[in-house]
Chains A and B, each alone.
Chain A
Amino acid sequence: MMSQSPVLQTRSGTVVEFTGVVKEFSGLRALDGFSLTLHAGECVALLGPSGSGKTTALRVLAGLESTDAGSITIDGIDVSALSTSKRDMGMVFQSYSLFPHLSVGENVEFGLRMRKIKPAERRSRASAALALVGLGHHFDRFAHQLSGGQQQRVALARALVTEPRVLLLDEPLSALDAKVRVQLRDEIRRIQTELGITTLFVTHDQDEALAIADRVAVMRSGNIEQVGTPEELYSRPATPFIADFVGLSNGIVGIVRDGHAEVHGTRLPLIDPAVAEGPVRVSVRPEDIEFAPEGLATTVVSSSFLGSLRRTTVRLPDGSIVFLQHGVRMHPKTGESVFLKFTGVPVSTEPLEAARVALHQS
C-alpha cells in the first residue's frame, strides 16, 4: 500500500461502471437511467449543457449524492453503500477548495494524514505531488497567496497524492482565464496519461472535452446521447444535437431520399443510412462547405478574421443563413456574390418536426 519511492504511483486498472443510475431532485430526474463504463486508465469527459446531469453523475460516483436506482461499481464491487470518505477518489472542484487555514504542503498532506501515514513519508510524497504539478517550491505558501491556476494545481496535487483509484474533475478550469485554462488543461492531460489513472472529467466546454479525453460522453437530460472518441463525435455525430454541441455546424433544411440527404440540389451521404425518408434538418460543418467557381449562388453577409482561419456568413437563395470556414487568404466582401459547394462529407439529420420541438425546448 505504501510506496517507498517518492514518485507517485497509481493502482492502474481501475474500471468504473454506472448501470441504469437514477437520481431525482424533488421530482426532477437529474440522472435518468445513466449507464457508462470507464475502462482502466481511461479519461472520459462528460460534456453537456447545464442541467444535463453531468455534475450529478460525477457527484454520485464520489458518493456526495446518493442514488435512487441503479448501481455503481468500481473494479466490479458495488460502492453505492460506501461513504465518500471510503471510496478512495481524488476530486478537484470547480470552486477553489483549498483549506484556507493550512499551507499548500499541509493541504496536500491532508489526505495522507487521514490515512495515518507517518510525517516523513507524508512530506516526501506531498513534495513529489507538488513537483508533479510544477509547484515544488510553494510548500509553505497559503492559498490566498496563490493565483487561481496555482490553486487548482495544488488541488490536483492534493487529489493525486493519495494515489486514488479514480480521479474526478468537476469543471476544474472554468474559474480560470483563457490562457491559464489551456495551459492547465494540457498539463492535466499529461499527468493523467503519465499516471494512467482512470479519470472522469466534467465540463460544458467542448474544446476542453475534445482536448483532454480518450472518450467523450455527450449528455442531454440525464442521459448519454452519444459516447465516442473525440474524432468519432466530431466526424460522425449521431444527432444534430451532438453536431451542434461538439464543434460548430449549420442546420440546413433538406430532404432524405434514396439513402441520401438532398440539400439545395446536392446529394450528401448520410452517417446513418437507415434514417426515415422525408423533410429533415441537416447538420453541415462550416469546414465542409467551400467556395467554388460555380455551384450554389449566395450573397456574403459578413466575414470575420479568426487568426488561423476566416469565418464567412452567407445568405442562400431561399433566405436562410449558413457560415463556412476557409483560409485567411480568401477575403470575401459584404454583398459580394459567391458560389458554394458541399465537400460531400457524411452528415447527420433530424426529422424536421423533432428539430422544431428541440429548438423550442432549448
Chain B
Amino acid sequence: MAAVTGSFTANGVAHAPSRTVRVTVLSLIGLIFALPIAAMIEFTLRAGLVGGYNVDRWVALFQSGFTGVYRPVLVALGNSVALAIGTVIIVMLLLVPTMLLVHIRFPYLRRVLEFICILPITIPAIVLVVGLAPIYTVVARMLGSGVWTLAFAYGITVLPFAYRAIQSNLDGVDVRTLTEAARTLGAGWGSVLVRVLVPNLRRGILAGAFIAVAVVLGEFTIASLLNRVNLQTALVVVSKVDPYTAVILSLLALAFASMLLLIIGRLGAPRNQTLRRRTTVKGPA
C-alpha cells in the first residue's frame, strides 16, 4: 500500500496511476482470486491418501462424456443458463424502462424506487423463500412448475445490484436534455429509448447484466428450498457422492461463467471505442 500512495503523490495526476502501481494492484488482486482456484485444482489432482498427483479423475470425467451420474449436472447447467437469460430479460424489460421513466417523468419517485430496489439485499434468501413459497404455488398453477419460473425470484434478488449499476450510469448522462433533443428532432418515445438512451446507458445496462448472470449462476438457497434444480444444487448432489469430481465440475462451471461474461462483454462493447475508453475497460475479475 505504501507503494501505491507514494507513486500517487510522485505522479501528481490522481486519475492515472503509474504502470508499476497498476501492475502491483492487479497482481495482488489477481493473486487473491487465483489462490482458491489453484487450491481447487490441486485438490482434483491428488492421487489419494498416500500422496502424489495425477490427472486420472479429469481423464475419467471427459472419457465418460458426462454421462451417468454427471448427466444431471449438464442439465442443471442448462437450467442455470436459461435462468440467467430469463433474469437478464426481466431486468432489461422491466427495470431499465422503469428507471428511465422515473428519471425523466417522475423524479420525485426516485427515492421510493431506490428503496424498493435495495430492499432484497436486506432480506436473507431464507426469509425471501418463506414469502415466495405460497406465491410459487400460484405461479405453478398458472404457468407450470418449470425451472424457468425461478427467474421471477431471481429478478428480485438481482435488483439491488442491477439498480446501482444502471443508476450510476444514469447519473453520468444528461438523459433529460438528450431525450428532449431527440424528441424535437422527430423521435417518438420508442426511438428515444432504442436509439438514444440505451446506447448511452450501455455500460450500466451491461454491468447490470453481468451481475445478474453472476448472481444467478451462483444461486443455491432459493432453488434448493423451492425444490428446483440449478447448477449449484446439482453440484451439491454430486459432491455428496464424489467430492473430487464435484470440484472438477465447479472449476468447469467457473470457466464457463467467465467465458459467458467475456462473450457478453464483447457483444456489448461500444462500437466507437476511443483509446481512452479502451484502457479503462477491464474484464470481470
A positions within 8 Å CB-CB of B: 62-64, 83-91, 93, 95-97, 99-101, 103, 110-111, 114-115, 142, 144, 155, 158-159, 162, 168
Return 7 A-B CB contacts under 8 Å, by A number: A62-B184, A85-B187, A90-B184, A93-B180, A96-B177, A97-B177, A99-B196
Contacts of A87 in B (CB 8 A): 184
B positions within 8 Å CB-CB of A: 173-174, 177-178, 180-188, 191, 195-196, 199-200, 202, 270-272, 274
Contact, CB under 8 Å: B272 / A114: no
Contacts of A159 in B (CB 8 A): 184-185
Instruction: Choose one: B177, B191, B196, B274; the contact of A93 (CB below 8 Å).
Output: B177
Give Cα A97–Cα B174 distance, bound, in whole angstroms.
8
Give Cα A159–Cα B202 distance, bound, in whole angstroms.
26
Most buried by B among A62, A88, A101, A111: A101
8 tightest A-B contacts by CB?
A111-B185, A114-B186, A91-B184, A97-B181, A101-B199, A84-B183, A97-B177, A114-B187
Contacts of A114 in B (CB 8 A): 185-187, 191
Known A-B contacts A85-B188, A101-B270; the reply to A110 vs B182 at CB < 8 A is: yes
| B interface secondary structure, majority | helix
- How many residue pairs link A and B with beta carbons under 8 A? The number is 74
Contact, CB under 8 Å: B200 / A89: no
Most buried by B among A95, A155, A168: A95
Contacts of B173 in A (CB 8 A): 100
CB distance from B99 to the nearest CB of A (A): 19
CB distance from A314 to the nearest CB of B (A): 47
CB distance from A161 to the nearest CB of B (A): 9
Give Cα A101–Cα B186 distance, bound, in whole angstroms.
18
Give Cα A91–Cα B274 distance, bound, in whole angstroms.
29
Contacts of A168 in B (CB 8 A): 184
Known A-B contacts A93-B177, A95-B177; the reply to A101 vs B272 at CB < 8 A is: yes
Contacts of B200 in A (CB 8 A): 99-101
Contact, CB under 8 Å: A88 / B186: yes
Nearest CB in chain B to that of A86: its residue: B186
Contact, CB under 8 Å: B177 / A162: no
Contacts of B191 in A (CB 8 A): 114
Give Cα A95–Cα B179 distance, bound, in whole angstroms.
13
Give Cα A137–Cα B25 distance, bound, in whole angstroms.
43
Contacts of A155 in B (CB 8 A): 181
Most buried by A among B184, B271, B274: B184
Contact, CB under 8 Å: B183 / A64: yes
Contacts of B178 in A (CB 8 A): 97, 99
Known A-B contacts A97-B177, A99-B200, A100-B200; the reply to A89 vs B272 at CB < 8 A is: no
